[in-house]
Amino acid sequence: MVSAIITTYNRRPFIREAIESVLSQDYKLKEIIVVDDGSEDGTEEEVKKYPVKYVWKENGGISSARNLGIKISVGEYIAFLDVDDLWTRKKISTQVAEMERSGYEVSYTDEIWIRNGKRVNQKKKHRKYSGFIYERCLPLCIISPSSAVIRRKIFDEVGLFDESLPVCEDYDMWLRITARYPVLFIEKPLIVKRGGHSDQLSKKYEAIDRFRIKALLKMIESGALNSEMKRKTLLEIEKKSMIVAKGAKKREKVEEAEYYFKLAEWARDEIDRIECAQQESNLQPLDS
């Protein structure tokens, strides 16, 4: 039932452990696909030692790699693994059993975090939840792609990963999903997230809230939000826009600062309009 999709780019030192963590699952996977996003470090030579489907493509970013994996996969469920991360042995069997039992079509798990070789604790802001958690996902991404199992048909409704986003593509995806579907959080650390690498994408771009703001603006235009969800989304746009604007002003990027200050003002105007409409609605007399 499950297609495992491992995405990689110039991570030969990590690929062997990642593949072996998938092969060691106590659940029989439909297929294991390794999508190589244009590696030039001998990754192919390493991958071809294993019984997996290997696909090489021109470098286009993590979203394009995941999207190719989705398109060529055949499983009823999709499970991603970023090459830096690892699955524990019972990850897939636990999630599939819980999803089949509960009827949820998306699940994710708790995580073990390793930074620069040392285990670290997650912060309060990274706390995870079950149910309709859209509002919980607005501040930052709390769902790791490597921890998720998603029924394939969901991508038919919400679309694939946004290839125009160099970072925060997962944040964008989870907003689209959680605005429409409840998700199941399994309170077991079933993946290992290894971070701290000098070439991580999150370290490559400054002011990454810019990309979260783009995702939030997409949600405003999506038609998927009710009035209160829209208000909460606008509040987040206002907050993040002010942060980016002040940072741009400090770096003397005048035009960028002006754009985000104006965006924050627009968001505030929209919030006021929604709140006024809500107040008027509450004052309407009930039909006798």
Mean pLDDT of the chain: 94
Domain 2-198: CATH class, spelled out:
alpha beta
Q: What is the pLDDT of residues 92-129, one digit of tens each?
A: 999 999 999 999 999 999 999 999 889 998 888 999 99
Per-residue pLDDT at 204 exceeds 80: no
How many Å apart are CA 5 and CA 60, to the nearest integer? 16
**How much is the pLDDT for 187?**
97
- Lookup result for tokens 């997230």: 193
**How much is the pLDDT for 117?**
84
Per-residue pLDDT at 287 exceeds 70: no
Per-residue pLDDT at 214 exceeds 60: yes
pLDDT band at residue 136 using 50, 70 and 90 as cut-offs? very high
**How much is the pLDDT for 156?**
95
184, 162, 192: which is closest to 21 by C-alpha?
192
Rounded to a whole number of angstroms, the distance between the first and last alpha carbons of the chain is 54
Q: What percentage of the chain exceeds 90 in pLDDT?
A: 88
217, 203, 268: which is closest to 238 by C-alpha?
268
Of residues 222 and 200, more confidence is placed in: 222
Per-residue pLDDT at 157 exceeds 90: yes
Residue 191's identity, in one-letter code, is: I
Of residues 278 and 239, more confidence is placed in: 239
**How much is the pLDDT for 288?**
41
Q: Beta strand 53-56 with 31-36: parallel, antiparallel or unpaired?
A: parallel
pLDDT band at residue 284 using 50, 70 and 90 as cut-offs? low
- The kind and range of the H/E element at 214 are helix 209-222
How many Å apart are CA 206 and CA 212, to the nearest integer? 12
Q: What is the pLDDT of residues 186-202, one digit of tens each?
A: 999 999 999 865 555 55
Query: Which whole-number Å values give the CA distances from 284 to 187, 276, 287, in the listed order?
Result: 44, 13, 9
Per-residue pLDDT at 147 exceeds 80: yes
- Region 168-175: mean pLDDT is 98
Residue 179's identity, in one-letter code, is: A
**How much is the pLDDT for 151?**
98
